[in-house]
Amino acid sequence: MSQVASVIPQAKPWTLNRRSRERIISFLSPIALLLLWEVLARLGILDTRFFPAPSQILSTLLTMMTSGELLDDTLISMTRLAVGFLVGGIPALIIGVVMGLNSTLRAMIDPLIAATYPIPKSSILPLALLVLGLGEASKIFMVAIGVFYPIAMNSMAGVREINRVYLDVGHNFKAGRWDVFRTIALPGAMPMIMTGVKLGVGMGLVLIAIAEMVGAKSGLGYLIWNAWETFAVDQMYVGLFVIALIGFALTLILNELEKILVPWKP
Amino acid sequence: MVTGDVAPAIRIANLSKFFGDLTAIDDVTIDIPTGEFLVIVGPSGCGKTTLLRILAGLDQPSVGAFTVSTPKELGRPENSMVFQGDSLFPWMTVWDNAAYGLRMRGAPAAQIKEVVGHYLDRIGLTRFAKSYPHELSGGMRQRVSIARAFANDPEILLMDEPFSALDAQNKLLLQEELLRIWEEHKKTVVFITHSVDEAVILGDRIMIMTAQPGRVKMLLRVPFGRPRNVMELARDAQFGNLVHDIWMQLREEVDRARSQNEMNG
C-alpha cells in the first residue's frame, strides 16, 4: 500500500489546474454577493423594504414551503410549462423538419413564420385571454407560442444545414421518406433542434410568469404579482428565487438531455 | 465463370448529360461484363463523377440510357455507392453505419448481424463497432464506407474517388484491403479516380475520359492477374510502362482542360 501511495504524485493545493480554479471561483462569487447583501441589509445601508436580507427571504421561503402553498404554485406553473412545451414544441419540430426537407412547404409556411415572429409574444396575452378565457388554455397557449418559434426555426435551419451527401447516401441506399426523416433529417438536425429547445424553454418560462400575473389565481407568476399587491416583498423574492431555480434546473436537465440525444458531437 | 455470351452487368448506350449549354458527358457507350473491375480515369471536370451519379440513380441522363442486370435474388439492391470524402452518418456508430443499407431494405436481424459482423471483421474494425465516426481516423472512416457498400450486397459497386482524401501510406493499405474484400465475391465495380497508379493497381480495364465534354478516349486492359500484390506490382517493369502510357494519354486531356479553364477564366 505504502509503495503504491508513494508512486502517486501529491497534488498541491496551489497547483490546481485552471478549470477547477475557475469552477471554485464561479461557485464562490454568488455566495460572496449574498453575504455582502446580508451585511449591507443588517447595517441598514440597504433599504430592507425593497431589499430584505437573504436570511429573511430564506425564512419566508421555509414558512411558505411548510404551509404547502409554494409547492402548489410551483407545481401548477411547472405543469403549465410542460403541457405548453409539448403543445407548442411537437408541432414546431415536425413543421420545422418538414420545412427543411421540402422546399414547396418552406415557400408556403416560411413567410407566415417570418411575418408573425417579430410580434412580442407577451403582447398576444390580451388576445389569448379574450379568445381562450381565464382558464388553463390561455396559459398553455402562451407557453406554446413562445416555444413554437425557436424550435420551428432552428429545426428548419438544422435540416437545411445537413450536408447533401447524407441525403445522397439515403437515396442510394433506398431510404424511404419516413426513413429519411427518422435516420437523417431528425438526428442530423438534432444539435440545432436542442438549441431551439433551450431557447424555447427559456421563452416559455418568461411567458408563463407574465401570463400568470394577469389572468390567474395560482402559479408562481400569480405569487409574485400577489406579493406586489399586498406589499409582501420577501414573498416576491421567494417567487423570483424559485423561478430562477427552475430555469437553472431546466438548463442542467436540457444539457444532460443533449448529451443523450447528441452522443456523437465531439 | 464469366463467359462471353453472358449479358453485361452494365450496358451504357449513347449516354449524354447536359447542364444548360454545358456538355458534361458526350455520347458514352460501354459494356461492363459481370465481375469486371472497371476504373475510369480522367482530368477534373470530365464528367466522371456525373456518370457515376447517373449509374447510382442520383442523377438522370439527358440523352441515352443505361441498364444494369437485375439482381438474381429478390430484395438485393442494384447498386451501392462509396462516396468521395466523408459520407458516414456522424450520428450513427460504426455498426449502425455499416448496417444502414441492410436495415433500409428490411433484412432480418440475424442476417444483419452476420453480414455486418463479417465486414467489420474484414476491415479490422470490430472493436470500433460502437465508436462514432469522429472518433476514427480518415482511413478508418473510409474503410467503414466500403464495408457499408459491401454489406448491402449490391449487384454492382460504384466508387467515387474513395481514397482521394487519404495520405499515400493509407491509400496503399486501403487499396490492398479493397482488393482483398473484393476477391471474395468479385462483384462488378465501377471505380473513379484521378490517380493513374491506382487505376492500374485496381482495375481489370481502364477507361480514359477526355476533358470536357467527357467522352471515352481509350479503353485498355490491365494485363496483371489476380489476386494482386499491391507492393509487388509497383516493382514490375510492365506496371511502370503502363502507368507511363496512360499518363501520356491523360496528359493531353489535362493540358486541354487547363487551357479551357484559362480561356474561360
Quick one: which of B18, B17, B31, B101 has its CA closest to B68?
Answer: B31
**A177 vs B: CB within 8 A:** no
**Are B87 and A174 a contacting pair at CB < 8 A?**
no
- Name the band, by pLDDT with cuts 50, 70 and 90, for residue A19: confident
- Name the band, by pLDDT with cuts 50, 70 and 90, for residue B265: low
Q: In this predicted structure, what is the pLDDT of residue A5?
A: 46
Q: In this predicted structure, what is the pLDDT of residue A11?
A: 53
Closest Cα in chain A to B84: A165
Largest CA distance in chain B: 58
The nearest CA of chain B is from the CA of A193 a distance in Å of 14
pLDDT at A48 over 80: yes
Strand order in the sheet with B156-160: B79-82, B156-160, B188-193, B37-41, B205-209, B216-221
Contacts B101 to A, Cβ<8 Å: 173-174
Query: In Å, what is the CA distance from A250 to each residue of A151, A200, A242, B38?
Result: 16, 11, 12, 57
Q: In this predicted structure, what is the pLDDT of residue A9?
A: 55
Among the listed ranges A164-173, A247-256, B121-130, B256-265, which one has the minimum average pLDDT value?
B256-265
Q: In this predicted structure, what is the pLDDT of residue A7?
A: 52
Strand order in the sheet with B22-32: B22-32, B10-19, B63-68
| Residue pair A193/A156 in contact by the 8 Å Cβ criterion | no
Q: What is the domain range of residue B12?
A: 1-69+193-265
pLDDT at A136 over 60: yes
Beta bridge partners of B218: B208
Report if residue B95 sits inside a domain. Answer: no
Report if residue B12 sits inside a domain. Answer: yes
* Domain of residue B216, CATH code: 3.40.50.300
| Arithmetic mean of pLDDT over chain B | 92
Q: In this predicted structure, what is the pLDDT of residue B257?
A: 83
Report if residue B127 sits inside a domain. Answer: no
* β-strands B79-82, B10-19 pairing: unpaired
Q: In this predicted structure, what is the pLDDT of residue A215?
A: 76
Distance from chain centroid for Cα B36: 12
Report if residue B151 sits inside a domain. Answer: no
What's the angle, vertex CA A60, arms to CA A58 and CA A64, rounded to 5? 115
Residue B101: other Cβ atoms inside 10 A: 26
Calculate the dihedral angle through the C-alpha atoms of A200, A201, A202, A206, rounding to the nearest 10 degrees.
Answer: 100
Report if residue B26 sits inside a domain. Answer: yes
Distance from chain centroid for Cα B32: 13
Report if residue B262 sits inside a domain. Answer: yes
Into how many domains does chain B fold? 1
Residues B152-163 have a mean pLDDT of 95
| Residue pair B214/B44 in contact by the 8 Å Cβ criterion | no
Residue B43: other Cβ atoms inside 10 A: 23
> Tell me: the pLDDT tens digits for A58-115?
999 999 999 998 999 999 999 999 999 999 999 999 999 999 999 999 999 999 999 9
Question: Which of A173, A187, A264 shows the shortest C-beta gap to B152?
Answer: A173
Q: Domains of chain A, with CATH numbers?
A: 65-261 (1.10.3720.10)
> Tell me: the pLDDT tens digits for B27-76?
999 999 999 999 999 988 889 999 999 999 999 999 999 999 877 777 78
The nearest CA of chain B is from the CA of A172 a distance in Å of 6
Report if residue B105 sits inside a domain. Answer: no
Residue A106: other Cβ atoms inside 10 A: 17
Quick one: which of A189, A162, A166, A169 has its CA closest to B101?
Answer: A169
Report if residue B227 sits inside a domain. Answer: yes
> What proportion of chain B, given as a percentage, has pLDDT over 90?
78
> What proportion of chain A, given as a percentage, has pLDDT over 70?
94
Helix (H) or strand (E) holding A94: helix A69-101
**Are A187 and B91 a contacting pair at CB < 8 A?**
yes
Distance from chain centroid for Cα B145: 12
Q: In this predicted structure, what is the pLDDT of residue A2?
A: 45
pLDDT at B4 over 60: no
SS3 (DSSP) at B71: coil
Quick one: which of A61, A2, A66 has its CA closest to A245?
Answer: A61
Q: In this predicted structure, what is the pLDDT of residue A14?
A: 60
- Name the band, by pLDDT with cuts 50, 70 and 90, for residue B5: low
Q: What is the ipTM of this complex?
A: 0.91
Q: Is A237 exposed, middle or buried (0-12, 13-18, 19+ CB in 10 A)?
A: buried
